[in-house]
Amino acid sequence: MPGDGAPALGAPAVGAPAVGGHAFGAPTAGAREHRRLILARHGQTAWNAEGRFQGQADPPLDATGLAQAERLAAEVLALRLDVLVSSDLLRARQTAMVVSRACGLEVELDRDLREIDLGLWQGLHRRQASERFPEEYRHWSHL
């Protein structure tokens, strides 16, 4: 839920309502198929809490992140998902597995959903990145 620290759910695309209340439902006879894509961010890791860049580094969820995943699962359950896809990074997998248990769906892992590789920034605090790579950090912070 917004503001409570839980991973945010993405809003459905405009003009793409759920069919039959399902995220990926079958269309009725003669109707165009409509799909709804729900996006959720992984729960918190210690690196999130510390302000570290994660990229493709693989820290696990912390206790707060696991609680966020539980709240997300309760919220998503009402959406009656048909498919559950996750990045293969640990923090995303852990979040998806909590949702999976609640929804009774298998998690499909997709490497293409990984966060971008942040190279030498991975594991650094924002301050460290700004000190070690001042020009690049300045450019990144203005994107």
| Nearest to 24, CA basis, from 33, 16, 35 | 35
CATH for 51:
3.40.50.1240
Which pLDDT band, with edges at 50, 70 and 90, does 12 fall under?
A: very low
Active site residues per annotation:
42, 115
State the average pLDDT for the chain. Answer: 84
Which residue type occupies 78? A
Per-residue confidence (pLDDT) for residue 106, from 0 to 100: 97
Per-residue confidence (pLDDT) for residue 117, from 0 to 100: 96
- The total domain count for the chain is 1
3-state helix, strand, coil in the chain (%, to 5): 40, 10, 50
Rounded distance, CA 117 to CA 74, Å?
Answer: 31
Give the domain extent around 38.
1-143
